Amino acid sequence: MALQPTLVKTSLVKSRLQGWNSILSHHILRRIIQAGFAVFILLTTIQHVTAGKNSTNITASPEAYCPFGGLETLYKYITSGGTTVSHTHISNLVLLVAVLLTAFLARSAFCGWVCPLGFLQDLISSFRNFLAKRFPGFRRGLKTLKLKGTHLPFWIAISG
């Protein structure tokens, strides 16, 4: 008599990590790195604003650390024949190239691990999921609000 393979029923629910593995997961590491970059940008912004323009302490503007500043600088550099935007520097182009290479090689590594806007997006998404679990009708209300919110600019444009 031949043995028939038996199917093992697996659970659809993922098991939770236990002990140090739960603390050292890549999600926690990613959140720590995102929060670190967000705090760095926030402190740089505060330092730049409090120093002021007439200060002897020269600080970099927050735009100096943003790759979109590199896009601004590239556009102005090409169209004006070599000048840059006043609050950015040519080093923004290096940052832009680095982010583009990272995006091509590691997909969303910059947005998911470094960019403070990606961090804010994750926090908002987590908060939305938290509210959706606590209040079952919340997701349906958000969907209705989103649909009406997308129609509002359209009606304002038509009527105005």
* Between residues 123 and 17, the one the model is more confident about: 123
34-67 pLDDT, tens digit per residue, is 889 889 888 888 888 888 777 777 777 777 788 8
Map residue 10 onto helix, strand or coil: coil
Q: How many residues does the chain have?
A: 160
Average pLDDT, the chain: 78
Q: With DSSP H G I counted as helix, E B as strand and the rest as coil, what are the percentages for the chain, rounded to 5?
A: 70, 0, 30
Q: CA-to-CA distance for 131 and 137, rounded, in angstroms?
A: 10
Whether the predicted pLDDT of 11 surpasses 70 = no
90-102 pLDDT, tens digit per residue, is 778 888 898 889 8
pTM of the model: 0.63
Whether the predicted pLDDT of 8 surpasses 60 = no
140-156 pLDDT, tens digit per residue, is 777 776 666 666 677 77
Angle in degrees, CA 58, 64, 66, rounded to 5: 155
Which amino acid type is present at position 4? Q
Q: What's the pLDDT score for residue 141?
A: 72
Identify the CA nearest to 86 among candidates 103, 72, 99, 98. Answer: 72
